[in-house]
Amino acid sequence: MNASHDLPYSPAVPAITSRLPNVGTTIFTVMSALATQKGAVNLGQGFPDFACDPRIVDAVSNAMRDGHNQYPPMAGAAPLRRAISEKIGRLYGRQYDAEREITVTAGATQAILTAILCCVHPGDEVVVIEPMYDCYVPAIELAGGKPVFVSLEAPDYALPFDKIAAAITPKTRLLIINSPHNPTGRVWRTADMQKIDEILRGTDVLILSDEVYEHMVFDGAPHESVCRYPDLAARSFVVSSFGKTFHVTGWKVGYVAAPAALTAEFRKVHQFNVFTVNTPMQAGIAEYLKDPAPYLELPAFYQQKRDFFREGLANSRFKLLPCDGTYFQCVDYSAISDLPEAEFSQWLTSEIGVAAIPVSAFYHESHESGVVRFCFAKKEETLRTALERLASL
């Protein structure tokens, strides 16, 4: 008998051409896995290690027991959409129609993908300001668009408005902005919003405004949502995240606010890539939003953590970069090592026992500036342990 006949049959898997040939395992997955392997304090991936408010859990549990367990409307449960509209109106002075202009999404990433897919066509250009969150470019590529990159300027990640203006062409369909900014912690101010308004005036360029850290702006400054600016709001998809705001990142519930004409196109895609979002969490969040204190108090809550972390590093050899918002702190490590950022992050995780994320991972191609990002959305004891380890440097 031919020996090959004794081998188990293994059917051939047909080959496919990748829609995202340049995408591999994300740096967040890599560093979190290394942190687990080495027993390191994980200040890399951006999620809290503390519990959410028990009241929001109770609200979701009550919604389940009360029978809110079947499909909600495609655009989201009406009570939650009304609560979102009311919150935006109170905070930013713009009243979105809950029925026609608010859509509940399966987290901010789905919201961003859906917004891009609904308006970007093959050959359209999308201006992206880097460093940038890693889901933007894959979404643009899936839509057949072309990302056009503009980099924030060293050393403090200033907005290069002349370069943004130069990047706008007749082919530009969308500009993506993000404030408070992940990974740098930079916060857009009134003058920044006014400048973008000037640049886009007279164009048909849309805006995707990623505002998932809207309730984490420090030192008494307001969050400058595009919702505050009528001309900008008229061309914008505004994205936010209850996961970030209420310490429940695993729930994956967010929303998009946009003018009715934009929302109509957004929902055409939304209904076929997710249809709708789980009902009891929508009902629970709507109930929880009746008390605005949890999100109004969030800036002070995270500012305390920022200040604790920055004070702990103040006498180290790390150079602290500005952190005006988010729950991320970027540091320049050039006085400690000349390793490239990815290698330094791996060394820091393996040898010092603290995981960080290289900021170079937030650029579309190699970009070394000797900066890594820490997440301080952690319990004080977690941060204290990390600071003790980092002090050895």
- What pLDDT is stored for residue 225 in this prediction? 98
Which conformational region is residue 67 in: left (phi greater than 0), alpha (psi within -120 to 50 degrees), or beta? left
Under the banding of pLDDT at 50, 70 and 90, the label for residue 10 is confident
Burial of 77 (0-12, 13-18, 19+ CB in 10 A): buried
Strands 357-358 and 371-375 come out as antiparallel
Which residue ranges form the domains of the chain, and what is each CATH number? 27-46+296-390 (3.90.1150.10), 54-291 (3.40.640.10)
Q: In the chain, what percentage of residues exceed pLDDT 70?
A: 98
Q: Is the pLDDT of residue 1 over 70?
A: no
Mean pLDDT for the chain overall: 96
Which conformational region is residue 27 in: left (phi greater than 0), alpha (psi within -120 to 50 degrees), or beta? alpha
Under the banding of pLDDT at 50, 70 and 90, the label for residue 8 is confident
- What pLDDT is stored for residue 274 in this prediction? 96
What tokens does 301 get? 């809550």
- What pLDDT is stored for residue 110 in this prediction? 98
What type of residue is 106? A
Q: Give the Cα separation of 24 and 365 in Å (integer).
A: 14
Please report the DSSP string for 249-274 in residue order.
Answer: GGG--EEEE--HHHHHHHHHHHHHHT
- Enter the pTM of the model: 0.95
Q: Is the pLDDT of residue 3 over 80?
A: no
Strands 172-178 and 125-130 come out as parallel
Under the banding of pLDDT at 50, 70 and 90, the label for residue 24 is confident
Under the banding of pLDDT at 50, 70 and 90, the label for residue 155 is confident
Q: Is the pLDDT of residue 5 over 70?
A: no
Q: How far is CA 234 from CA 1, 83, 253, in A?
A: 75, 21, 24
Summarize pLDDT for 199-253 with one digit per residue, the tens.
999 999 999 999 999 999 999 999 999 999 999 999 999 999 999 999 999 999 9
